[in-house]
Structure 1
Amino acid sequence: MTPTTRVAAIQAQPVWFDLAATTDKTVDLIAGASAGGAELVAFPETWLPGYPAFIWSQNIGEQVPLIANYRANSPALDGPEIEAIREAAKQHGIMVVLGLSERDHGSLYMSQLIIGADGAILLHRRKLKPTHVERALFGESDGSGLQVVDTPLGRVGALNCWEHMQPLVKFAMYAQHEEIHVAGWPALTPVSESPLPQLSGEVCLTLSRTYALEGGAFVIVPNQMLPGDRTDAVAAGLSAVVYGPDGTAVSTPLDPGTEGLVYADIDLAVGSFAKVFADPVGHYSRPDVFQLTVDRTARPVVRLEGAASPESIPDTDEELVSA
């Protein structure tokens, strides 16, 4: 019998815009996923410290104090919160795919980390293009994050939100023979309550399912639940699920109004078999007609070349004054 891998998708609320408390909750959820037998656990887009939905409903003047608090509660990559999560991954021997609002000096980025079971960061990526009004708060990335990493569990990749609506972005991932994909989404509502139908939970689940079918991969969809009462209407939005390479849900469902973990036992051989029928970057491609070039060069804003000579640095206050 082919061995299977148990994966878990988070279905929960963060402790909204409270970095310390959400970090503690993340560590607890990692422990719970491991106790449930999962070897990989996936979190939604900007799980730390929660998706800033206020950017869609308030003008910039009203947002200023909210933005200040949001920035203060966004983690730095080398900060203690990420270190605590990495340590939890190592302690429980589980891979973690984490969505975060990453603070890098004066800027924020919609980032994802793939953290190995040893606590090492296997991939740090940033959303290539924030969606619509997200661009007023978050910066863009270069192509260096369009990577699939080879791990003991298989070839693992991740994208955020409407990156799943970009055909070329998806094809760049398919071309790396991705086997397990994490589709990070923000907190979403049903199509009847969404300001744009394409921002609804139903549509985002459709895009995630399409990704599984197109890429012949398992797609893990965590759910960042909304606060307040979970009425039937709200519960009809996004719910945590794992899709198989044939587009069917292979996870054990969890009531949409309940926080917890959604599990699936996946067999990568199923993905390989699915590609026997339609491999978009193999026998079902036409490289003589279509070619895609992906520039994955990291592009820093400034390159500081050379170093200050020690002889040019004053040694004493007197030298500093005279200089």
Structure 2
Amino acid sequence: MSQPNHLKVALAQIAPVWGNQKATLEKIKTSIIEASENGAELVIFGEGLLPGYPYWLSLMDGAAWDKKEVKELHAHYARNAVDIERGDLEEVCTLSRKHNIAIYLGVIERPQDRGGSSLYCSLVYINQEGEIQSVHRKLQPTYDERLTWAPGDGHGLRVHPLKQFTVGGLNCWENWMPLPRAAMYAQGENLHIAVWPGSDYNTKDITRFIARESRSYVISVSSRMAIATDFPKDTPHLDTLLKNAPERSSNGGSCIAGPDGEFILPPDTTSEGLIYHTLDFNRVYEERQNFDPSGHYSRPDVTQLTVNRERQTTVKFEE
């Protein structure tokens, strides 16, 4: 058992079995068990890992109107998306509870409270008791992502206690949005989770910047995926998809920065599997002695942020 101020984390730099919910879930479950057996208390998976990132949009003229191949790929993607209300994450929650390990998991969610068809890039937090504590739907899909993902809401802008830490997370380019970051800081966040589809181009700067700005630990987790090997043979229109694909669509780049803004683990573009590190909470107090963005170095009498955390829905029924 680690010390109360220590937290051992596992960064799951793995690839999905793209577009296959069942097979990707098996990889996730294996990683959870392995992380637990190696003493991890928190395991983190990349953005949209279950069942994968929508690579076809940039490789197959995804913006073309009414294009048959694109529509069929979207339908395949939707069929393999996660329906939390109907229990698609029950086995993950059971493993979390059995092994006493917290989980941040990036999923493509197809929620019933929005009609059960539209897709959201969501970050799910499961505590060590196996309970889903928050589902954060990405506020603003980036560029071509908007062709397949819907914009989320503020309901999941929440933090959670984990030993002496307070953890929170954002999806990909949300991490560049100053106000959502401020909303997390104001809730006492001191361990920030940033999930990505996979690229050191994304993680190399913002990871250190958020750590420096917030005086928190920041963990970035990405996939590492080769399109030629990680797309199942039964993927619709696979030959067309691979025609313009690079050898590796995601090179990883998972990393950790400390509360001083310096890398503890620099972006890793070679490892496949779990990457471990133990964090010491005392470092947060050390760095916040001279700067605390929501405490002694804030001026709420001058500037304040209002956050709407209501879960958005099209209709409200009154019986």
Runs of 5+ in structure 1 lacking a partner? 189-200, 307-323
Match of 2:233 in 1: none
Opposite residue 181 of structure 1, the aligned amino acid is H
Which of the residues 270, 294, 305 maps onto 1:257? Answer: 270
Match for residue 243 of structure 2?
none
Q: Is the 8 A contact 1:102 1:108 kept in 2?
A: yes
**2: CA distance, partners of 1:40 / 1:282:** 27
Alpha-carbon distance in 1 for matches of 2:251, 2:205: 12
Cα-to-partner distance string for 1:236-282 (whole Å, 9 max, x where unaligned): 9542212211122224x796333111111111121122111111112
Counterpart CA distance in 1 for 2:218 and 2:314 is 33
Secondary structure (helix, strand or coil) at the match of 1:250 reads strand
Higher relative contact order (CA 8 A, sep 6+): 2
The residue that corresponds to 1:299 in the other structure is: 312
SS class of match (1:13): coil
Question: In structure 2, how many angstroms separate the alpha carbons of the residues matched to 1:117 and 1:36?
Answer: 16
- Report how far residue 170 of structure 1 moved: 0.8
Alignment match, 1:36: 38
Is 122-131 or 38-47 further displaced after alignment? 122-131
Distance of 1:145 and 1:133 partners within structure 2 = 23
Aligned to 2:99: 92
Q: TM-score, normalised by structure 1?
A: 0.84
Q: How many residues align?
A: 291
Higher-Rg member (1/2) = 1
User: Quick one: distance in 2 between partners of 1:103 and 1:228?
Assistant: 24
Alignment of 1:98-113 (within 5 A): 98-104=105-111, 105-113=116-124
Q: Does the alignment pair 1:68 with 2:75?
A: yes
1:1-323 paired onto structure 2 within 5 Å: 3-59=5-61, 60=64, 61=67, 62-104=69-111, 105-188=116-199, 201-227=200-226, 237-251=251-265, 256-306=269-319
Deviates more, 1:33-42 or 1:208-217: 208-217
1:220 CA displacement: 1.5
Query: Could you say what secondary structure the match of 2:92 adopts?
Result: helix
Cα distance in structure 1, aligned partners of 2:169 and 2:268: 25
Cα distance change of structure 1 residues 236 and 144 upon mapping to structure 2, 3 Å threshold: closer
**Offset at 1:289?**
3.0
C-alpha contact 2:13 2:252 (8 A) present in aligned 1: no
Percent identity over the alignment?
37
* Structure 1 residue 33 displacement after superposition: 0.7
Distance, in Å, in 2 between the alignment partners of 1:302 and 1:101 is 23
